[in-house]
Structure 1
Amino acid sequence: MKKEREMTGLQLQSSQRGAVIVAVDANRTKGSMEAIEWALKHVVKPGDIFLVLGVFTTDHHAKNSCFPFKLRMGFGISGIWKRLESIDHEEVDPAELGEELKRKIGQYQSSLQPLYRQCSKNEVRLVLKFAAGFCPARLTINESHNLNTRWIVLDSHFKKWKVYLRGRVTCNVAVVKEKDFASLMLSNDTQPAEICPSKPNYYSAASKEHLGEEHSKGFNAYELRNRSAPTPYPQNPYCYPLSWRSGFPRVFSYNELEMITNGFADDNILAVVDGITVHQGILQETPVLVNSLKITNKGFWSVLEILSRVRHRNIMNLVGYCSTGASAFLLFDLPCLGTVGINLQWDELAEKLDWRVRWSIALEIGGSLRYLHEECVDGPIVHKNVHASSVALSHGYSPMLCNFVYAEWLKGDITPTKDLISKYDKLHFGDVHDYGKFLLELITGKCVSPVHDQRKDQSMIEGALPLLENGEFGKLKDCRLTETAGDARMVRNMAHAALRCLKVDSDHKLSISECIICGIFHRP
């Protein structure tokens, strides 16, 4: 009851007070303190609510994570630790884990002690909250909706969530890159008088042209503190993606790409995989991905040749490309909900992928594979890399097959020989087999390795096959989901399709169409 009264009191105050939220990686100290100090110096006003949201990362693969296992932790007002919801690590003692969390929180509170006095002097209410096992962006969005939030400030470790926040919150966003320096995504209510024309120009012309993004050195603290909460960023969940609009796909100049990516700023890098750097950017007020790679990379011409021939609503279609002689670039629409793999890794996101959504994803990705294998006019295309991390999610959890770096076009103008037919069959069966693994990922909620790891993949399959063959689907189902009427049938049919696909070989041939008809719809 006491915690509920505290929450109600905070929400009542928030209707009158402005709020600044700082989301930090609670496992790290340096970047976190820089973000907190930057916010206090530049955007927190007297009388504000100043919420510091510390998120303990629980990524199994993160070297600096203090929790090498999966957990979910509730969080309370003023840093009160509530409970552990689930742990799936046999060697972890919940009591020891609780003590470790309390110790970490104690350390954080001690490091913030000098700030309490500063906040108290300026009538700023400092509130601490901690969480583990949750998506940092979703937590921040939820908190911003409960408060009269003017600013969200992310530390450098959470910079990848910047574009995800854009369009989901109605406030200014800052990513603190280093002490006294931040990259800003300012609201769309900018008044000309708020920007001082006599101020030195600290940012390039390219960054000026990048919609809604500025550098903090272009503003003084007074201007930043007095930026009001904006009107919502215009967002139509049913808007046409750029790749389907008139005039696309098209050739881009390098100068255009510089404006789209804010000069290829490090803050806009989402990932670096297999020598391909993925930047995020804005084109015609629409988020896009820009994949950059060396022109010597044969994958560029292969992917360009393939994607220039495909058009399907469940494939991440091409927005455009650029070739400069030394480098090459491919542009795509940005999937606003990430990939299926990312969603399955976070419990909070995985729970939103209920059985009906997963069933729909299975059907639509099956349809995209059927299009590639059987409906492309210039000859079949095999993907060769179907798994949860190669399926992007757009508005309404609409899935799109992506990551065509390993794809191969089986050109229809080549005279077929016995060896060639055998090769084509093997490639088709490979996609069908991978589709079976993808169905298994949807059923279990566990992802295979993003890079083909035969040992790990085979171990997962060998563990699942006996259960699939014996119809023991309940032992495979993602336990994070609550079952409703009709869900059992969807799981059973996906499992039946997965079994058929995983057993495909030269003696058990199966096309993707047969898989969809015989498996998904469970027809003999």
Structure 2
Amino acid sequence: MGFGSSGESVIVVMDADRNRGKVDALNWALNNVVRPKDTVIVLGVLCDCCKKSSCFPFDIGIGVTAIWERLDFSSQGEKSLKLLEEEITKKKEEYQHTLEPYHRQCKRNEVKLEMKLVAGFSPKVVTVEEAQNNNTRWIVLDSHLKKDRFCIYSQVGCNIAVLKHNDVATIMPSLAPEGSGSSVMSEKPHKEDGNAAKEDKVPGSSPPIPSWYPLSWQPGFPREFTHAELESITNGFPNEDIIFENENLKVYQGILLKAPVFVKCFSGDHERFRAELKVYNRVRHRNILNLIGYCRMDDSMFLLSDYPCQGSLDKHLRCDELAKNLSWKIRWDIALGIGGCLRYLHEECLYGPLLHLAVTSGHIFLSRSFSALLTNFSLAKWLEDDDDAFEKTSSMEGSIKHTTLMGNERFSIDVYAYGLLLLELITGQKSFGFDTREGQNMVDWALPLLENRYLSQLMDPRLICSGDTKEVCYMGSAALLCLKNRSGPWPCMSEVVALVQGDRFTMSQW
């Protein structure tokens, strides 16, 4: 019949480990957003059966396309491999039985149905890849995958529906501009108890799509928000949207003008709120996670900021698959971005020098294009406010006592921390609190190799060396300058950044 050839695709993503044959998300998609000529791609993601990589192709049957899955059999042995194959066979038979009636129904309605089982990938990675490879109009996530919705939403140009319960879904309208190739549906979304969910909107009546600039850089921001606005942005502050929590702080994910945002809630810690708000009101740099707005109430204070969709640098370096995406060029760009940001805080900020005091890979987030953004100014100090605050020992250095506040000594905590960050970018390993196989502290192990230019022994083995390692040489020189024991003055960030840039004159001076 040739149906599906001229239509668009609707991707339905299900946690194949938990659903056990339930296809509520598929039912919702077929009843609400699928049209004749469409292709429905059902992704059954096996999240628990394996974690690493190799190739294992298979076909699920019923004339349905299958895709490769990434597995690692090298350390599992024949017994584990057999168990894995049995699990996959069982899952294929389960979906074969469950989807056969849907296959016939789709055929009658001129809809093409494809089923793809995927193992060894995170659901958000494979969903984004599948959406980018197809002319996708909708993505429908089952309720088990709602934690991935913000990351997926920020990287695709289509509508997203997240199944909740009783055939109710939360709608996240497309981020793509009109006419960009990702069409927008006009159907009215399902409602719960007669009222639309907070994110549910009729696509096409929503606010204008923002530009690719962060919200914090656009006219009208930062501004003060009402608590009612925050309720709408966070969909009611649900516990499942909390991405960080300690005694007096909770950080939520939310959506504002179709853009993902962080909402930081301070409970009873008004001094910390005021300190961070003061910093965000004064600093403005393209490598700082800038402020969108704030909200002040009697019991709680809130700060809103952009949400870099790739997550933290630490997360990428700790995960083998994600670390491979951080090429040497990208890592060098990250080093330059954060270095330039610290130079701005120390030397160029209009309101005087500011120390960050918490420069770590966990406080650096990556945008869609892997631009680095420095976050968490909860410990930051203005030198003009409190010089005595820096007469202490850095928890990261452990060995450098700040007994004087003369010259660049003031900035030694940030400079040393930046050196640790460079070491992490080069090695891919944690530079603080990490022991090598030889039982040495990471810095003690790395310094002699840096001094003798044995970079090949330091470079992250997960990356394939292209032969041109000048960026690594630049980062190594700067890391050595920041970390080596010294009796003389500390370098300033301008000098450190010049080394990262490969400035030969600066190299000769140190």
User: Distance in 1 between the 2:150 and 2:345 partners?
Assistant: 31
1:508 CA drift (Å): 7.1
User: Distance in 1 between the 2:15 and 2:278 partners?
Assistant: 42
Name the TM-score, length of structure 1 as normaliser.
0.76
Q: Given the superposition, is the C-alpha separation of residues 283 and 170 from structure 1 closer, same or farther in structure 2, using an over 3 Å criterion?
A: closer
User: Distance in 2 between the 1:271 and 1:118 partners?
Assistant: 40
Q: Deviations over 1:277-315 (max 9, x none)?
A: 333333344432211221326432322222222122211
Q: Given the superposition, is the C-alpha separation of residues 417 and 445 from structure 1 closer, same or farther in structure 2, using an over 3 Å criterion?
A: closer
Number of aligned pairs? 475
1:368 CA drift (Å): 0.9
RMSD of aligned alpha carbons: 4.1
1:431 aligns with 2:422: no
Q: Counterpart in 2 of 1:291? A: 264
Q: How does 1:224-235 map to 2 (within 5 A)?
A: 234=209
- Pick aligned residue for 1:23 from 13, 19, 30: 13
Cα contact 1:134–1:347 (8 A) shared by 2 = no
Identity among equivalent positions (%) equals: 37
User: Distance in 2 between the 1:345 and 1:15 partners?
Assistant: 41
User: Distance in 2 between the 1:116 and 1:31 partners?
Assistant: 9
User: Distance in 1 between the 2:173 and 2:388 partners?
Assistant: 58
- Pick aligned residue for 2:88 from 105, 109, 112: 105
User: Distance in 2 between the 1:516 and 1:466 partners?
Assistant: 22
- Pick aligned residue for 2:251 from 246, 271, 278: 278
- Pick aligned residue for 2:353 from 370, 380, 384: 380
User: Distance in 2 between the 1:198 and 1:272 partners?
Assistant: 30
1:304 aligns with 2:274: no
Secondary structure of the equivalent of 1:54? strand
1:329 CA drift (Å): 0.8
1:248 CA drift (Å): 2.7
Q: Counterpart in 2 of 1:129? A: 116
Query: Which AA in structure 1 matches 2:353?
Result: P
1:391 CA drift (Å): 1.6
Q: Which stretches in structure 1 are left out of the alignment for 5+ residues?
A: 1-8, 58-64, 219-226
Q: Counterpart in 2 of 1:116? A: 99
Give 1 or 2: higher helix fraction: 1
1:322 aligns with 2:280: no
Cα contact 2:21–2:95 (8 A) shared by 1 = no
1:324 CA drift (Å): 0.9
- Pick aligned residue for 1:503 from 484, 491, 497: 484
- Pick aligned residue for 1:488 from 469, 473, 493: 469
Cα contact 1:38–1:179 (8 A) shared by 2 = no
Query: Which AA in structure 1 matches 2:195?
Result: Y
Q: Counterpart in 2 of 1:169? A: 156
Query: Which AA in structure 2 matches 1:440?
Result: L
Secondary structure of the equivalent of 2:412? helix
Which structure has more relative contact order (CA 8 Å, sep 6+)? It is: 1
Name the TM-score, length of structure 2 as normaliser.
0.77
- Pick aligned residue for 1:251 from 218, 224, 231: 224
Q: Counterpart in 2 of 1:5? A: none
Q: Counterpart in 1 of 2:453? A: 471
Q: Counterpart in 1 of 2:131? A: 144
User: Distance in 2 between the 1:145 and 1:419 partners?
Assistant: 52
User: Distance in 1 between the 2:473 and 2:190 partners?
Assistant: 65
Query: Which AA in structure 2 matches 1:331?
Result: L
Q: Deviations over 1:215-263 (max 9, x none)?
A: xxx9xxxxxxxx99x9xx95643x3x33233443222221222232233
Cα contact 1:21–1:52 (8 A) shared by 2 = yes
Q: Counterpart in 1 of 2:396? A: none
Q: Given the superposition, is the C-alpha separation of residues 379 and 492 from structure 1 closer, same or farther in structure 2, using an over 3 Å criterion?
A: same
Cα contact 1:287–1:333 (8 A) shared by 2 = yes
Q: Deviations over 1:63-82 (max 9, x none)?
A: xx454x64355656538685
Q: Given the superposition, is the C-alpha separation of residues 417 and 72 from structure 1 closer, same or farther in structure 2, using an over 3 Å criterion?
A: closer
Q: Deviations over 1:181-203 (max 9, x none)?
A: 321224576676x4399996233
